Amino acid sequence: MLIPKGIAHRLMPPSARMALALLCLSGAFVLGLNAASAQVTIPDTPAGRTMGAWLEAFNSGDRLRLDEYFKKYDPEKHADDFMGFRDRVGGFELLSIEKSEPGRIVILLKERNSEGRALAKFQVSDSDPPQVTSSEVKGIFAGAAVIGFDIDAPTRKRVIDGSIAMLDEFYVFPEVAKKMGMAVRARARRGEYDSVTDGNAFAKLLTSHFQDVSHDKHLSVSFSPIQLPEDSSSPSPDAMARYREAMREFASDNPQGGFEKLDQMGAIKELPVAERYKQLAHDYVEAVTHRKSALVVSPTHAEGEKVTALIREELKQRGKLGTDERKFFRLINQQWTEAQLSHAQNYRPDLVVQFHQNAHGFSQKLRCLFVFY
């Protein structure tokens, strides 16, 4: 069989993208977690009214009502992105107003489906109707301290000093780390951070300034209003020194030496094929559950899809994913040659041919799914 000129694609679900963990900043104020009062009055401010509209739409569980809220107050977001989260928590009860300003409000919430609590912040513009410029809902983990979204001058200095110290110690390119530190310290001396009192805004600003120097889009700073307890399982100073030594080998174009040093540390595991994907998924979920950084790298798309599926399954079992699940498909170019396109034995029932020019019986941009009888 001669196949008309076209491009063969494989029909498959998208791969998930995993990444990364960032620097944690300390906040400035500790908020009290008092029992819910019988009735919490929502402030009659632009931020308060916007938050109240969100809470009412979110708690309704109605996709249309939530979409109406987003269209009016936060048009860059869509209800479909939040329905799984809504199903998991069952909505929120408003426990208290932790901070209220005309354009900004911080509230304490309780999940309806569990005893879990969350801290939320809404920041809005002074337009009519107000537009959400920043919003966040952060779950409060067991044993965590709530420190709030506000930061002060001592916190900004502590974060700058700590971030630069970590870059000097761990960043793979020492000279670049030194330049980043010098640039941010110069900005601090000029007072560029003095007026920043919101933790998220400060983290975004530092990220931008570090990336301006390093051009490293994987390097970023994040802020959390929730401070986790110290992790007793952190690596020892000796282990960290050996790890940095291995990273220097990679940075010096000596991957063999880097892998050997990692192997000597016991950082590389070899498992049978049947076990490794499941173990990798388990380790990844364990890491993110404990708020650690994890990056999964797969040498092929096929392996990436297997690991992604197992990670999703593990997350479902732990109740970390909602029940509102849908599948989306994409076409992946097989990069076949003209000779491969012309041989019938190369085609399988899961392949799609998309024509990029008109052919006898086929029009341009037509897609054909192969079915064999």
Question: Do 67 and 1 share a domain, yes or no?
Answer: no
Does some domain include residue 41?
Answer: no
Does some domain include residue 27?
Answer: no
Does some domain include residue 55?
Answer: yes
Tokens representing residue 277 in the block: 């994907």
Does some domain include residue 32?
Answer: no
Question: Do 219 and 245 share a domain, yes or no?
Answer: no
Question: Do 118 and 157 share a domain, yes or no?
Answer: no
Question: Do 250 and 279 share a domain, yes or no?
Answer: yes
Instruction: Give the closest residue to 182 by CA, choosing from 204, 214, 154, 152.
Output: 214
Per DSSP, helices labelled H in the chain are 46-60, 63-73, 83-89, 153-170, 174-189, 199-214, 237-251, 255-264, 273-289, 301-317, 338-341
Question: Do 60 and 95 share a domain, yes or no?
Answer: yes
Full DSSP string of 313-343: HHHHHTT-S-S------EEEE----HHHHT-
Task: Identify the burial level of 123 via C-beta atoms within 10 angstroms of its C-beta, where 0-12 means exposed, 13-18 middle and 19 or more buried.
Answer: buried
End-to-end CA distance of the chain: 15
Does some domain include residue 325?
Answer: yes
Instruction: Give the closest residue to 307 by CA, choosing from 297, 317, 316.
Output: 297
CB of 249 closer than 8 Å to CB of 255: yes
* Chain-centroid distance, C-alpha 204: 14
Does some domain include residue 3?
Answer: yes
Question: Do 126 and 52 share a domain, yes or no?
Answer: yes
- What's residue 25's pLDDT? 33
Residue where one domain finishes, among candidates 266, 284, 313: 313
Instruction: Give the closest residue to 250 by CA, choosing from 180, 177, 173.
Output: 173
Question: Do 120 and 160 share a domain, yes or no?
Answer: no
CB of 328 closer than 8 Å to CB of 13: yes
Backbone angles phi and psi of 136, in degrees to 5: -160, 140
Strand partners, 352: 9, 369
* Cα(214)–Cα(184) distance, integer angstroms: 12
Task: Identify the burial level of 57 via C-beta atoms within 10 angstroms of its C-beta, where 0-12 means exposed, 13-18 middle and 19 or more buried.
Answer: buried
Question: Do 50 and 70 share a domain, yes or no?
Answer: yes
**pLDDT tens per residue, the chain (373 residues)?**
333 334 444 433 333 332 222 333 333 333 333 344 348 899 999 999 999 999 999 999 999 999 999 999 999 998 888 888 888 889 999 999 999 999 999 999 999 988 888 899 999 999 999 999 999 888 887 667 888 889 999 999 999 999 999 899 888 889 999 999 999 999 999 999 999 999 989 999 999 999 999 999 889 898 888 876 665 556 777 888 888 888 888 888 898 998 898 888 888 878 887 788 888 888 888 887 776 778 888 888 888 888 888 888 888 777 777 666 677 777 778 888 888 888 878 887 778 877 777 777 777 767 776 555 5
Question: Do 51 and 139 share a domain, yes or no?
Answer: yes
Residue where one domain finishes, among candidates 284, 313, 342: 313
Tokens representing residue 35 in the block: 């029992």
Question: Do 164 and 175 share a domain, yes or no?
Answer: yes
Residue where one domain finishes, among candidates 143, 163, 191: 143
CB of 206 closer than 8 Å to CB of 159: yes
Does some domain include residue 39?
Answer: no
* Cα(178)–Cα(185) distance, integer angstroms: 11
Tell me 232's DSSP state. T
Long-range contacts made by residues 235-239, C-beta under 8 angstroms, separation at least 24?
239/265
Q: How many domains does the chain have?
A: 4
> Which residues lie closer than 8 Å to 22 by C-beta, 6 or more apart?
203, 220, 221, 222, 293
- What's residue 363's pLDDT? 76
Does some domain include residue 24?
Answer: no
Question: Do 57 and 136 share a domain, yes or no?
Answer: yes
- What's residue 252's pLDDT? 85
Tokens representing residue 229 in the block: 């307890």
- What's residue 229's pLDDT? 62
* Cα(221)–Cα(210) distance, integer angstroms: 9
CATH number for the domain spanning 73: value is 3.10.450.50
Total Cβ atoms within 10 A of residue 157 = 12
Domain residue limits at 218: 153-227
Question: Do 285 and 252 share a domain, yes or no?
Answer: yes
